[in-house]
Amino acid sequence: MRTVSTDTITQSFIDYMGEDTDERTRVVLCSLVKHLHNFARETELTHDEWRKGLELLFAAGSISSPERNEFVLFSDVLGMSSLVDMMHSSAEATPSSVLGPFHVLGAPELAVGGDMRGDNDGEAVVVSGKVLSTDGSMIKGATLEIWQTAENGLYSGQDAAQPEYNLRARMKSATDGRYLFSTVRPAPYTVPEDGPVGELLRATGRQPWRPSHLHFIVSAPGHKTLVTEVFPSDDPYLDKDAVFGVRERLIMEYKPDTNHENLPDELAIKSKLADESFFTVNFDFILKTTSN
Amino acid sequence: MRTVSTDTITQSFIDYMGEDTDERTRVVLCSLVKHLHNFARETELTHDEWRKGLELLFAAGSISSPERNEFVLFSDVLGMSSLVDMMHSSAEATPSSVLGPFHVLGAPELAVGGDMRGDNDGEAVVVSGKVLSTDGSMIKGATLEIWQTAENGLYSGQDAAQPEYNLRARMKSATDGRYLFSTVRPAPYTVPEDGPVGELLRATGRQPWRPSHLHFIVSAPGHKTLVTEVFPSDDPYLDKDAVFGVRERLIMEYKPDTNHENLPDELAIKSKLADESFFTVNFDFILKTTSN
């Protein structure tokens, strides 16, 4: 070690590891450190730049709290979160996408056909689809957790004006795998820009917007839980999502619907919609079986 | 972007950067993200491992404060701090080494020959040497900032029992570049183990000790400031420094000295040492000229 040099320090790190180190821990840390060292060598990273990086991490720690995790946001805007998501998505199932920081537990149960819109302003939307298994069957009783922003681009929890659990629900799919609910169209929004992630975005001329989306966690026994989002085809930020969350197969379409007669009877607000214009969205979820 | 994949996400990150992005910022961030993504791809990093990494960063933020920076410590134990130091050391000058978190400003001025030992217990040491320039001249009036642990392995600031600025001093080199002071022998110590860095060390079977050392910052007009440490040749941790700070050329020797007559007259405690055994250390600092 007293002969350590810029060329040998990576090996020194590896040599320091005890023999009893868990094998996977060893593989992950050796790869991480090899890449960090190569980054420093490749860029001939200066002391000032190294200090700047540490400052950003310290600032991320300072602005983080149980309600806000700036490290997750760094991972998101650097593409790490989406890369990990994509690496573990299977081709036959619906792709996963970033969970984001706005999911909460305990949202109210809603029957198939129920209304999540309540008193929210905004364009009415009827969302429906099926939950399927990669084995081809429809999944009955799959749990869908659903959450989204209000028309102002804020989630309940971020916005004191919204009731607790506003635009959040849990639904069990019907016998034929169907789900169905009414809501309002969510809005695009920006990731938080008041911390070091905002500094990074500004320094690189990046826009902080995410396209509007509906969040879903879909789970069923015998299947891998799917954490995902679906995005409308006409969103202006679809090709520049600040957190790289969009996937071709997660794009859905808001279809203007004037045929009120066509709405299913389970739709709780069917009669209300008779006098309104509204959109319909259809999106099916395919869950990967875990039985091997 | 809606066609992003595990193969294209690194390029997507690069494509997101605005045209006006500062060129160096672009180079550093592209390299960083390329290496982070390659790390994730190479290890097929799982969601659980990704979350564990984010947890460690969050924990580092929680335990950090203006007095303690766990991110610097992560950089230290991963070898990043030393790598950056070594990349910017010049072969003809004294190598730099990690600053560490225990430097404070405002330490008292000490004349050449002054005593830093005060009332501290421990083996007496007389430290001396010269400050030289890579152009071959002796540097008069160079500033040496000196700090070290007490015999218990703690720095003043860490240890309520020590007076403020205990075992800390600032000295100006003499006309012939000489510096000289008396002190006690510092002790090895462990890096803080009560945070996520401690968790990392334990998970990889690493020992947390640093060899004992004297810290120096040596600065002079027209020269690059040197931040370094010097280590005794007989320290048991010399070849396993937890933060990779040891360099062959930073090793000095404690020589037992019984020839009290040989001590220079400037040494303030010369007469006190007449009845004591003590060690001498000689170490010269060579600063790189900044004039090109």
Does any domain span residue A59?
no
Does any domain span residue A154? Answer: yes
Residue B12 main-chain phi, psi, to 5 deg? -60, -40
The nearest CA of chain A is from the CA of B291 a distance in Å of 19
Shortest Cα–Cα distance, B206 to chain A (Å): 6
Strand partners, B184: B124
In this structure, the answer to whether residues B283 and B150 fall within a common structural domain is: yes
Contacts of A240 in chain B (CB under 8 A): 1, 16
Instruction: Note down the domain range covering B36.
Output: 1-45
A99 and A234 in a single domain? The answer is yes
DSSP for chain B?
-TT--TTTHHHHHHHHS-TTS-HHHHHHHHHHHHHHHHHHHHHT--HHHHHHHHHHHHHHHHH-BTTB-HHHHHHHHTTHHHHHHHHT--TTSPPP----S---S-PPEE-TTEE--TT--S-EEEEEEEEEETTS-B-TT-EEEEE---TTS--TTT-TTSPTTTTEEEEE--TTSEEEEEEE----EEPP-SSHHHHHHHHTT---EE---EEEEEE-TTB--EEEEEEETT-TTTT--TT----GGGEE--EEE--GGGS-TT-TTHHHHTTS-EEEEE--EEEPB---
Regarding whether B167 and B113 lie in a shared domain, the answer is: yes
Whole-angstrom distance, CA of residue A177 vs CA of residue A169: 17
Residues 6+ apart with CB under 8 A from B55: none
Task: Give the per-residue pLDDT at B67.
Answer: 78
Report yes or no on B86 lying in a domain. Answer: yes
Considering the domain architecture, whether residues B21 and B103 belong to the same structural domain is answered as no
Residue A1 confidence class, pLDDT cut points 50, 70, 90: low
Measure in Å the smallest separation between the Cα of B45 and chain A Cα atoms: 7
Task: Find, among B180, B177, B157, B175, the residue nearest to B167 by Cα.
Answer: B157
Is there a contact between A17 and B206 if contact means CB atoms under 8 Å apart? yes
Question: Considering CB atoms only, which of B10, B83, B241 is closest to A40?
Answer: B83
Q: Tell me: do B38 and B160 sit in the same domain.
A: no
Return the pLDDT at B230.
97
Residue count of chain A:
292
pLDDT, tens digit, 9 for 90 and up, residues A167-221: 999 999 999 999 999 999 999 999 999 999 999 999 999 999 999 999 999 999 9
Kindly report the backbone phi and psi dihedral angles of residue A53, in degrees, each rounded to the nearest multiple of 5, phi listed first: -60, -45
Residue entry with tokens 């730049």: A49
Domain count, chain B: 2
pLDDT of residue A257: 83
Calpha distance A138→A175 (Å, rounded) = 8
Q: Which residues of B touch A39 (CB under 8 A)?
A: 31-32, 35
Distance from CA of A104 to the nearest CA of B (A): 18
* Inter-chain contacts counted by CB atoms under 8 A, chains A and B: 217
Q: A219, A143 in Cβ contact below 8 A?
A: yes
Contact yes or no for B81 and A50 at CB 8 A: yes
**B158 CA: distance to closest CA in chain A (Å):** 21
CB A113 within 8 A of CB A83: no
Please indicate, yes or no, if residue A74 is contained in any of the structural domains: no
B261 within a domain of the structure (yes/no): yes
**Of residues A5, A18, A206, nearest to B205 (C-beta):** A18
Asked if residue B87 lies in contact with residue A41, where contact means CB atoms within 8 angstroms, the answer is: yes
Which of B183, B201, B196 has the alpha carbon at shortest distance from B146?
B183
Pick the closest to residue B249 from B263, B233, B265 (CA basis): B233
The stretch A244-253 carries a mean pLDDT of: 95
Q: Provide the H-helix boundaries in chain A.
A: 9-16, 23-43, 47-63, 70-77, 80-87, 196-203
Question: Closest partner residue to B251 among A2, A205, A239, by Cβ?
Answer: A2
- Length of chain B as a residue count: 292
Best of A65, A204, A233, A238 to disrupt the B interface by mutation (most B CBs within 10 Å)? A204
Rounded alpha-carbon distances, angstroms, from residue A277 to A214, A238, A255, A280 = 20, 25, 11, 10
CA–CA separation, A222 vs B286, rounded Å? 68
Q: Count of CB atoms within 10 A of residue A154's CB?
A: 18
Same domain, B132 and B27: no
B2, B61, B87: residue with CB nearest A40: B87
Q: Is residue B30 part of a domain?
A: yes
CB nearest to A78's CB, from B36, B82, B86:
B36
Partner residue opposite A69 with nearest CB, options B58, B69, B200 = B58
Distance from CA of A228 to the nearest CA of B (A): 14
3-state secondary structure of A95: coil
Q: Are A269 and A115 a contacting pair, CB within 8 Å?
A: yes
* DSSP-assigned letters across all residues of A186-212: ---EEPP-SSHHHHHHHHTT---EE--
Output the domain CATH number for residue A91. 2.60.130.10
b vs e for B158-187, b when ≥16 Cβ sit within 10 Å of the residue's Cβ? beeebeebbbbbbbbbbeebbbbbbbbbbb
Q: Amino acid letter at B130?
A: K
Strands B109-110 and A189-190: unpaired
pLDDT value of residue A291: 66
B109 part of a folded domain = yes
Task: Please list every residue in chain B whose beta carbon sits closer than 8 Å to the beta carbon of residue A52.
Answer: none
Reported as a pLDDT band with limits 50, 70 and 90, residue A274 is: confident
Contact B110, B172 (CB under 8 A): no
CA angle A240, A242, A244 (to 5 degrees): 80
Residue A252: pLDDT over 80: yes
Q: Are residues B41 and B145 in the same domain?
A: no
Clarify whether residues B86 and B183 are in a common domain. Answer: yes
Secondary structure letter of residue A109 according to DSSP: B
Q: Looking at the structure, tell me whether residues B3 and B123 fall in a common domain.
A: no
pLDDT tens digit at each of 292 positions of chain B = 677 899 999 999 999 999 999 999 999 999 999 999 999 999 999 999 999 999 999 999 999 998 789 999 999 999 999 999 999 988 999 999 998 888 989 999 999 999 999 999 999 999 999 999 999 999 999 999 999 999 999 999 889 999 999 999 999 999 999 999 999 999 999 999 999 999 999 999 999 999 999 999 999 999 999 999 999 999 999 999 999 999 999 999 999 987 777 789 999 999 999 888 999 999 999 999 996 5
What local confidence, expressed as pLDDT, does residue A259 receive? Answer: 74
Same domain, B266 and B124: yes
Q: Are residues A166 and A242 in the same domain?
A: yes
Note whether A114 and A268 are within 8 A (CB): yes
Q: Are the C-beta atoms of residues A140 and A177 closer than 8 Å to each other?
A: yes
Name the DSSP letter for residue A261.
Answer: G
Selected residue of A8, A15, A39, A44 to mutate for chain B interface (largest B Cβ count, 10 A): A39
Residues in chain B with CB shorter than 8 Å from the CB of A72 are 54
**Are B147 and B88 within one domain?**
yes
- What ipTM was predicted for this assembly? 0.91
DSSP annotation of A232 reads E
**Distance (Å, rounded) from C-alpha B277 to C-alpha B124?**
7
Contacts of A54 in chain B (CB under 8 A): 69, 71-72, 75
Residue A3 has what pLDDT? 78
Are A80 and B20 a contacting pair at CB < 8 A? Answer: no
CA atoms within 13 A on the CB side of B155: 21
Q: Are B10 and A256 in contact (CB under 8 A)?
A: no
The residue assigned the tokens 């905002």 is: A198
Q: What is the pLDDT of residue A33?
A: 98
Exposure class string for B109-144: b at 16+ Cβ within 10 A, else e: ebebbbbbbeebebebbbbbbbbbbbeeebbeebbb
Give domain status of residue B28, yes or no.
Answer: yes
Q: How far is CA A25 from CA A16, A31, A246, in A?
A: 13, 10, 31
Take residue B203 and report the two structure tokens written for it.
Answer: 């998970």
Q: What is the pLDDT of residues A29-49, one digit of tens each?
A: 999 999 999 999 999 999 999
